[in-house]
Amino acid sequence: MNADADVLSKIKHASEQDRQCRVVPDFSDIDPGLPFVPEVFTQLYHTSAYDLLNPEQKLRYNQLFGLRSNELFMVFEKGVTRQVIHQLKNARQESDPLLADCLEGMLVEESRHHAMFLDFNRRFLPEGYSNKGRCFTRDSRLEMGVLLTLAKRPGL
């Protein structure tokens, strides 16, 4: 077995083991009194306007920023990332089936991540996510068209 195949075998094995023993996060006890991301990661934190907010407003802003960040991950995981991985997998199916298997595992993981982020957002803000997967982000036909066109040509 060559070095690349050895590495791919290890990746495939580790991924399969991880899927078998992974515990799905339980978001039923989300603490509404805690921030979702470090303050420094939020955009408003770096402006003078942030100092005008009281602690409750800062906390709510932080939580909403976290939900929006989850949405952005979902957009890329369900759309762009899945398309790129799928295209690469199909391109390598015949020439490198082990790599194709590893890429298939990545597709499974991306689906699990998407479901996890959506579950978190729905549990924290059910009214915003009751009948849809997003509350803060919208699909621009032009932006999504460009992203999906690029995703379908991962060799570029």
pLDDT for 20 equals 62
pLDDT for 130 equals 84
**Gap between the Cα atoms of 82 and 26, Å rounded:** 25
pTM metric for this prediction = 0.79
Which tens digits make up the pLDDT trace of 75-87?
888 777 888 888 8
71 exposed, middle or buried (CB, 10 Å; 0-12, 13-18, 19+)? buried
Q: Which has more pLDDT, 76 or 115? A: 115
CB atoms within 10 A of CB 14: 11
Q: Where are the domains of the chain?
A: 70-151
Q: Which has more pLDDT, 72 or 152? A: 72
C-alpha torsion sign, points 35, 37, 42, 45:
positive
Average pLDDT, the chain: 85
pLDDT for 37 equals 96
Instruction: Pull the structure tokens for residue 15.
Output: 């991924």
CB atoms within 10 A of CB 69: 16
